[in-house]
């Protein structure tokens, strides 16, 4: 299963490397979201600094939508999904591979936005261990849930509008948890960041497990 | 608006919505029933 | 539940639903009298607290609906039973209506009590996400597809939503637990006549929910029948065409 996952992830990442869609389109979009927040909220009154955690994760959430759409748009051409189904790869492996590729792309975006936020919002990052752990578990959860809904929406003509409607309510707790943990790391809140990490981990575990069990079935139908 | 105003709005809204929905379901039931032969209309 | 021997009526009613419906209406009348006239106002919230006899019952029915939808989806995935799948979609739709009502009554109650329409407390926030999750389920459900595909897809959507709800609830209550927030509940402990009225209102709400569910179930059953009949008709027409062509082209 993990070999299959590595195969699929490698394929997705290699396609990404050659086509540069994430770097050329999704990353600028993410930065653009940060910039638009600055337009919407007065940059001079410290709102951006205080709200950094939330704005960061919203930008990541929207970018995740694009990354997931992209991951399945790759398979839309030339009966690729049929190819995947017939390839003999274990579906759980395909799931882990696709989710893994999405997660890595999101991780790269998080680094980029982490820098963006320092530059654009004047934030100073602190609490590195908490920040990194939170990012890891939140990203895994986002990627897993995104891949599940992505495959569900994959074959449908309405997938661009359906995916946000399905995915965003489900990952709302990830947004909440990640923001709270980040705020705790930035010393902006009194809450215990690590309990949020536990919540985010539960989310990730549940959706990864679900994906391993159900992805095959969903792939058949798409 | 005083408290009773809100109470009235709440109760009226709930019952109007439920009544309207019930009517909608019943009317749909009648229209569809006519299109389906009697032996297929119910699950048992 | 068939009216008379051999005669299935051209509507979704039956003796059982008629009885249930009448009982529900009677129950509603009693609850209204109790809630609006006989019980006194709450010590702190005043008469606005009478909205509890609306808000809590519809919320309970909403949760039952969600539970049934999830149960129906699980049973369908397990047994491939059409009956259970029809339960799932009917419960989802009726549940969606009740969820909307829960949110609205919450707002109508919140305004005179707390001065705001919305307090971001754990329950109401979870319910608003529940509304969106239900909505997503119904959207996926109505996408054109083979019956089997449609049922399986929506079953998974229901399950994915179901596992999310406790996480949402826990996260929001931790989040709001950091602040002293307004929650929709009575300021005094509820007892005596008020408790009785509330429990009765919940029972009546569940009866009404069941009545709507049965009718919606029958409508959903009919919808599937019409759909399959339409498909069969189209297939037979194609076969007839093919037969004619075979005869005319030697």
Residues C71 and C95 sit within 8 Å (Cβ to Cβ) = no
Q: CB-based contacts of C143: which residues, under 8 Å, 6+ apart? A: A156, A158, C150, C153
**Mean pLDDT score of chain A, rounded to an integer?**
87
pLDDT at A201 over 50: yes
Contact of A198 with chain C, judged by CB distance below 8 Å, is answered with: no
Of C129, C157, C175, the CB nearest to A152: C157
Ranges of each domain in chain C? 21-183+191-248
Q: Which residue has the higher pLDDT, A115 or C191?
A: A115
**DSSP codes joined into one string, A188-200:** ---S-HHHHHHHH
Inter-chain residue contact C8 with B35, CB threshold 8 Å: no
Inter-chain residue contact B42 with C218, CB threshold 8 Å: yes
Q: Which residue has the higher pLDDT, C145 or C223?
A: C223
Chain B environment of C83 (Cβ under 8 Å): 43
Of B7, B15, B33, the CB nearest to C51: B7
Chain C environment of B29 (Cβ under 8 Å): 11-13, 215, 218-219, 222
Inter-chain residue contact C12 with B33, CB threshold 8 Å: yes
For residue B20, what is the nearest residue in chain C, using CA coordinates?
A: C97
- Among the residue ranges A200-209, C27-36, C105-114, C170-179, the one predicted with the least confidence is C170-179
Task: Grade residue A88 by pLDDT with cuts at 50, 70 and 90.
Answer: confident
Count of beta carbons in the 10 Å neighbourhood of residue C161:
25
ipTM: 0.92
The shortest C-alpha distance from C113 to chain A (Å) reads 27
Contact of C138 with chain A, judged by CB distance below 8 Å, is answered with: no
Inter-chain residue contact B36 with C2, CB threshold 8 Å: no
- Chains A and C: 3 or more CB pairs within 8 Å of each other: yes
The shortest C-alpha distance from C167 to chain A (Å) reads 7
Task: Grade residue C3 by pLDDT with cuts at 50, 70 and 90.
Answer: very low
Per-window interface: C 1-60 vs A, CB < 8 A: none
Chain A environment of C172 (Cβ under 8 Å): 173, 176
The shortest C-alpha distance from C176 to chain B (Å) reads 26
Contact of C199 with chain A, judged by CB distance below 8 Å, is answered with: no
Domains contained in chain A, number: 1
Per-residue confidence (pLDDT) for residue A62, from 0 to 100:
94
Per-residue confidence (pLDDT) for residue C182, from 0 to 100:
57
Summarize pLDDT for C127-144 with one digit per residue, the tens: 999 999 999 999 999 988
Residues spanned by the domain of A154: 2-221
Residues C56 and C141 sit within 8 Å (Cβ to Cβ) = no
Three-state secondary-structure class, residue C105:
helix
CA distance C43 to C55: 19
Burial C119-158 (b: 16+ CB within 10 A, else e): bebbbbbbbbbbbbbbbbbbbbbeeebeeeebbbbbbbbb
Give the residues across from C90 on adjacent strands: none
Per-residue confidence (pLDDT) for residue C241, from 0 to 100:
85
pLDDT at C2 over 70: no
**Residue C119 phi, psi (nearest 5):** -120, 5
Residues A174 and A65 sit within 8 Å (Cβ to Cβ) = no
For residue A141, what is the nearest residue in chain C, using CA coordinates?
A: C164
0.95 exceeded by pTM: no
In degrees to the nearest 10, what's the CA dihedral of C209, C15, B30, C99?
0
Interface test with A, best of C80, C174, C176, C179 (most A CBs within 10 A): C174
Chain C environment of B2 (Cβ under 8 Å): 112
Of C10, C54, C219, the CB nearest to B25: C219
The mean per-residue pLDDT over the stretch A182-186 comes to 89
């Amino acid at each position: 299963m993990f070999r299959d996952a590595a195969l699929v992830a490698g394929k997705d990442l290699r396609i990404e490397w050659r086509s540069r869609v994430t770097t050329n389109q999704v990353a600028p979009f993410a930065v653009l979201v940060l910039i638009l927040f600055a337009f919407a909220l007065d940059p001079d009154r410290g709102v951006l600094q205080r709200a950094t955690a939330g704005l960061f994760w919203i930008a990541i959430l929207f970018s995740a939508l694009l990354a997931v759409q992209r991951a399945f748009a790759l398979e839309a051409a030339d009966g690729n999904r049929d190819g995947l189904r017939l390839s003999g790869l274990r579906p759980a492996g395909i799931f882990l591979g696709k989710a893994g590729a999405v997660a890595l792309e999101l991780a790269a975006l998080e680094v980029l936005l982490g820098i963006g936020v320092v530059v654009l919002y004047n934030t100073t990052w602190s609490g590195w261990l908490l920040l990194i752990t939170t990012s890891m578990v939140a990203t895994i959860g986002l990627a897993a849930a995104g891949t599940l809904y992505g495959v569900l929406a994959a074959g449908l003509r309405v997938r661009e509008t359906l995916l946000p409607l399905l995915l965003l309510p489900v990952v709302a707790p990830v947004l909440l948890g990640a923001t709270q943990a980040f705020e705790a790391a930035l010393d902006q809140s009194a809450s215990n960041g690590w309990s949020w990490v536990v919540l985010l981990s539960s989310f990730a575990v549940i959706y990864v497990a679900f994906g391993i069990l159900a992805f095959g079935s969903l792939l058949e139908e798409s | 608006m005083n408290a009773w105003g809100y109470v009235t709005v709440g109760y009226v809204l709930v019952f109007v919505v439920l009544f309207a929905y019930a009517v909608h379901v019943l009317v749909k039931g009648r229209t569809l029933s006519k299109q389906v032969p009697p032996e297929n209309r119910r699950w048992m | 539940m068939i009216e008379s021997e051999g005669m299935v009526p051209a509507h979704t009613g039956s003796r059982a639903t008629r009885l249930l419906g009448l009982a529900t209406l009677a129950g509603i009348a009693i609850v209204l009298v109790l809630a609006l006239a006989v019980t006194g106002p709450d010590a702190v919230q005043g008469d606005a607290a009478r909205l509890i006899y609306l808000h809590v019952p519809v919320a309970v029915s909403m949760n039952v609906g969600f539970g049934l939808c999830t149960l129906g989806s699980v049973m369908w995935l397990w047994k491939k039973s059409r009956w259970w799948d029809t339960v799932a979609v009917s419960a989802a739709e009726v549940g969606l209506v009740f969820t909307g009502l829960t949110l609205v009554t919450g707002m109508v109650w919140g305004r005179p009590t707390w001065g705001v329409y919305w307090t971001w407390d754990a329950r109401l926030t979870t319910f608003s996400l529940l509304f969106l999750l239900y909505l997503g389920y119904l959207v996926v459900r109505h996408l054109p597809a083979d019956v089997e595909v449609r049922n399986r897809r929506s079953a998974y959507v229901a399950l994915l939503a179901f596992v999310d709800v406790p996480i949402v609830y826990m996260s929001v209550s931790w989040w709001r637990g950091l602040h002293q927030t307004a929650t929709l509940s009575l300021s005094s402990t509820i007892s005596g006549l008020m408790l009785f009225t509330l429990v009765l209102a919940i029972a009546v709400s569940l009866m009404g929910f069941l009545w709507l569910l049965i009718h919606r179930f029958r409508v959903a059953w009919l919808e599937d029948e019409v759909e399959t009949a339409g498909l069969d008709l189209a297939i037979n027409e194609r076969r007839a065409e093919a037969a004619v062509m075979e005869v005319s082209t030697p």
